[in-house]
Structure 1
Amino acid sequence: MWPVNKGIPLTSDFANGGVSFWYRQIGLPARRPALPGPRDYDVAIVGGGYTGLWTAYYLKQADPGLRIAILEKEFAGFGASGRNGGWLSAEFAGSRKRHAKARGRQAMIDLQHAMFRSVDEVIEVARTEGIDADIHKGGLFHVATNPAQRRRLRAGVADLRAWGYGEDDMRLLGRDEQRERLQVAGALEASYSPHGARIQPAKLAVGLARVVAGMGVDIFEDTTVTEIRPRQGSGAAQAVTTREIVSADYVIRATEGFTANLAGQHRQWLPMNSSMIVTEPLPPDVWKHIGWQGSELLEDNAHAYVYAQRTADDRIAIGGRGVPYRFGSRTDRRGVTQRQTVELLWRMLVKLFPAASEARLQHAWCGVLGVPRDWCSTVHLDHASGLGWAGGYVGSGVTTTNLAGRTLRDLVLRRDTPLTELPWVGRQVRQWEPEPLRWTGVQLIYALYRAADRRENERGTTTSAYAHLADLISGR
């Protein structure tokens, strides 16, 4: 364990990395066997996270006779699915205007409504399948803590009205109601949406993998896929592993932030790093000051924002970007969070919740998420090549993966449904720039966002020009 600032209290068993706190809480699952040899399937899914698991679940449910395999380098739920902030929300990555250009404004509104329903779909499947993932549908708060954030918050709520959000889907809270529900220090205004639920993400991943395996899906762990090959002539598509080759009518790439590790995919999606810390359980007198009895999800309205939840056992788990990107699309398998990131997240926690300033930290960890060049999620299947994919969730994947799984089901089964008509289906996105431009650009973007936040906190009443420049460079 590295030393941290003495002002940050730590539990005696504080851990940094290794696994997420979520797995520390429930224990790592027993490893399933690796791929024993060459195999043939109807559908082979590369990646055992939420996207792969949901896709297998819905395909097997629709056609129990399908032969389906999931190929996972580590264990099912190892990546972002078991490391995220536990946000089951209806937020969707990317520009709504950009999505609307594909199939029209109503199609984007339909997509937003599909996200609303997907929150409840995950909750219902968990209930039906007996997956206890500490799910509590308390909704979602966005909080503004300076005048510039408040202006963006109000503008954002007004804009969402044009994209399928009704008054019951998102509204501004009066100050008295906001303070009654959640005491955030310095909060000037807040918005609330009922379309959000807290989850324990590792419990959902482990439970879903158990259900999928029980349906007859083969899950091969400790199986590294190095390349995905399209169908050639009358042959099958292939997933090439370090052990053997898996052939299938369809090979689905569900690798999200780890996509750059596949041959030919190095610049496809950028692996963005996100970090989290979690406190020890807080005593009742602290919660008396904070409130948060509804266990709503929480996000501030800064550019380099933080996100948080009150866990089922009364901790605060809070996360943010930290060091957002490593040169050459490298990822840290150990999940260690840098000292300065832990200190930053701790300062944000105490700033938002001064009553928790004496609480000790118990765990810090990080993980990667996938970011397309236009920051918009996609789902796609090409029947000619036999290749498909879904991802690029930009941190909003817990719910979106479920929608992706149901959409891939319909695409594989050649069903024309409202899901296959949604505007994120079939999007083609250009690749990221080669290094060192990629690394330089991402560092500059987040340096500008942090500078914008500092300026707005000091004296800004409108969004800083630094943030506008960062948006321009990022291509959002």
Structure 2
Amino acid sequence: MDVPGVPLAPDFDAGGTPYWLRALGDAPPGRRLPGPMTADVCVVGAGCTGLWTAYYLKRADPGLRVVVLERGTPGRGASGAGGGRLSGESPASCARLARRHGRFAVIALQRALFETVDEIVRVAVHEGVDADLLKSGLLYVARNPAQLARLETHVRLSRTWGWAERDLHLDTLARVNVAGAAGAAWSPHGARVQPAALVRGLARAAAGLGVEIYDHTPVLRIRPRSSVSPAAAATPHGTVAAEYVIRATEGFTAALEGHHRDWLPMTDSMIVTTPLPDAAWAEIGWEGAEPLTDVAHAGVRLQRTADGRVAVGGRGRPYRYGSRVADSGRADPGAVAALWRALVAMFPAASAASVAGAWTGVLGVPRDRCPSVTLDHRTGLGHAGGFSLSGLTASNLAARTLRDLLLERDSTLTALPWVHWRNRRWEPEPLRWLGIRAGYALYRAADAHERSSASPKTSPLARAAAVLTRR
């Protein structure tokens, strides 16, 4: 890959394999589904949602036979390719949930997400999962007057949805030296994590409890329970019949028969640098390694890795016509260049490094920006997903909720407002392609307008994009 204006390391990896996976080395050999079988619960997808669900089910009832089917290898999807942050942020549209369930139900979901960050850290320690976990909070950075005004408004409005002063407050940005920063906010409810190491460790822990994981076993269709047959997941290597089949396919949901317009497969691009020299880190600071997000409309997310690199993520070519998903994971050169420019604009000292790798991951985005956790005891089918950029945290809470739904437990989790949420479907093509393409063009133009303006007002271009995408 040739990317003008971007220094590429001599061993730059353009093959699409996330740095997180490359850093771990080859995974232990897996096994393909050997043929038809039966189970109590069949989970489709070995990302965080699927693996957490299997893990908690076996913890709660060791006698259950739980089978997990994965089209590739565990962690090769969004779970092991993302930005590597645990976040207490809600992936849902709080206003939409509140209109149906009330404000206090949304606050309950928010508080549960805060607690989930600690739950993930607890399980990782208990299971001996070494995933570079560091709970030092989250930073949000504004770099112009319009961004700062939006950030201040966000902090103020967050009080409506359960964020107290201790949960999110404006910050002096003494922790890190971001060029041109106009202000910041900090939340304690976040942590850095090596996402592929978390997924691989979780798969190992689940297998140790007796969960059967079969990789390179794509599911072609999911069949509901009928009067004469159980629910089932059909693969090229045989069908798994089960009392319950749980779909945990996130961005790959559109590839399943009958689910083409459920969630939009949105592509997120990533780059990672070579290790920065000590002099660069002395200038940047960032000793707490808090995951950092700028508050631009088409913003970026950054992580200081445990080995002294910076990983940067954002939307490059966000959507492919017809909900197609590129299996290669290769990043677009334009996205690589844009992420590099964003990095050195925020941290000029990072120009002492070069880009060591680039890749993409695929997120599942609901039309109404509300994730859902659902189980139908009549059909034997359930699903969880639509978490967008909060998946590493939300997937754990969703999995514990699915556990309680499957075991028919009434709990505070099964009362959360995303349970049995019915998502609106995406528009048919070419409407969704045109809408996404136009929306992101407007957001990028709005960011450019705000960078060149001293006004604290959000660009009208962004408001137009929000109307177009119904964000």
TM-score scaled by length of structure 1: 0.98
Task: Output the amino acid matched with 1:149.
Answer: Q
SS in 2 for 1:223: coil
- Pairing 1:468–2:466 present: no
Matched, 1:134 2:132: yes
Q: Deviations over 1:83-140 (max 9, x none)?
A: 0100101012131111112321111001000000000000000000000000001110
Partner of 1:17: 15
Task: Report how far residue 295 of structure 1 moved.
Answer: 0.6
Q: Distance in 1 between matches of 2:460 and 2:228?
A: 55
Q: Give the match for residue 103 of structure 1.
A: 101
- Indicate the SS of the match to 1:85: coil
TM-aligned CA deviation for residue 461 of structure 1 = 2.3
Q: For the aligned residues, what is the CA RMSD?
A: 0.9
- Return the letter of the residue paired with 2:465: A
> Structure 1 residue 309 and structure 2 residue 307: aligned?
no
Where does residue 239 of structure 1 map in the other structure? 233
Gaps of 5+ in 2: none
Residue type of the alignment partner of 2:468? I
Match of 1:31 among 29, 32, 45: 29
Secondary structure of the 2:27 match is coil
Deviation at 1:4, TM superposition (A): 1.3
SS of the residue corresponding to residue 396 of structure 1 reads helix
Residues 155-166 of structure 1 aligned to structure 2 (within 5 Å): 155-166=153-164
Q: Name the aligned partner's letter for residue 458 of structure 2.
A: T
> Does the CA contact (< 8 Å) of 1:275 and 1:319 recur in 2?
yes
Distance in 2 separating the partners of 1:196 and 1:474: 28
1:444 is aligned to 2:438: yes
Aligned to 1:326: 320
In 2, the alpha carbon distance for the partners of 1:414 and 1:403 equals: 17
Q: Which amino acid aligns with 1:29?
A: A
Q: Distance in 2 between the 1:430 and 1:103 partners?
A: 17
1:185 aligns with 2:179: yes
- SS for the counterpart of 2:271 is strand
Cα distance in structure 1, aligned partners of 2:439 and 2:29: 39
Residue aligned with 2:388, SS: coil
User: Does 2:274 align with 1:280?
Assistant: yes
Instruction: Choose the corresponding residue for 1:347, options 341, 347, 364.
Output: 341
AA matched with 1:327 = Y
Q: Deviations over 1:117-176 (max 9, x none)?
A: 0000000000000000000011101000011000000000000111111111001013xx
Residues 1:70 and 2:68 aligned together: yes
The answer to whether residue 358 in structure 2 is matched with residue 364 in structure 1 is yes
- Structure 1 stretches (4+) deviating beyond 3 angstroms? none
Q: Which residue of 2 aligns with 1:249?
A: 243
Partner of 2:39: 41
What is the CA deviation profile of residues 383-442 of structure 1, one whole-angstrom value per residue up to 9, with x for unaligned ones?
Answer: 111000000011110000000110000000001100000001100012111111111111
Q: Which moved more, 1:383-392 or 1:458-467?
A: 458-467
Q: Which residue of 1 is the match for residue 3 of structure 2?
A: 4
Correspondence for 1:51: 49
Asked if the contact 1:198/1:309 (under 8 Å) is kept, the reply is yes
Letter in 2 for 1:220: Y
| 2:293 is the alignment partner of 1:295 | no
| 1:435 to 1:31, Cα distance in 2 relative to 1, 3 A | farther
Deviations, residues 33-82 of structure 1 (Å, cap 9, x unaligned): 11111111110000000000000010000000001000001111110111
Q: CA deviation at 1:315?
A: 0.5
For residues 167-246 of structure 1, the aligned pairs below 5 Å read 167-174=165-172, 178=173, 180-246=174-240
* SS of match in other structure, 1:395: helix
Paired letter, 1:164: G
Q: Deviations over 1:310-348 (max 9, x none)?
A: 000111111100000001111111111111110000000
Match of 1:147 in 2: 145
- In 2, Cα distance between equivalents of 1:334 and 1:94: 29
Q: Does 1:418 align with 2:412?
A: yes
Equivalent-residue separation in structure 1 for 2:470 and 2:225 (angstroms)? 33
1:237-286 per-residue CA deviation (whole Å, 9 max, x = no partner) reads 01011121111110000000000110011111100000011111111111
Whether contact under 8 Å (1:86, 1:199) holds in the other structure is: yes
| Structure 1 CA distance for aligned equivalents of residues 29 and 398 of structure 2 | 26
Runs of 5+ consecutive residues of structure 1 not aligned to the other structure = none
Q: Is this contact kept in 1: 2:16–2:358, CA < 8 A?
A: no
Secondary structure of the residue aligned to 1:150 is helix
Identity of aligned residues (%): 55
Partners of 1:108 and 1:420 lie apart in 2 by 13
Query: Is the counterpart of residue 271 in structure 1 residue 265 in structure 2?
Result: yes
CA distance in 2, matches of 1:32, 1:324: 31
Shift of 1:234: 4.8
Following superposition, the deviation at residue 11 of structure 1 comes to 1.2
Alpha-carbon distance in 1 for matches of 2:100, 2:62: 34
Tell me the matched-pair count.
470
> Could you tell me which amino acid in structure 1 is paired with residue 375 of structure 2?
L
Aligned to 1:377: 371
The 8 Å contact of residues 304 and 321 in structure 1, kept in 2 or not, is answered as yes
| Inter-partner Cα distance in structure 1 for 2:15 and 2:191 | 25
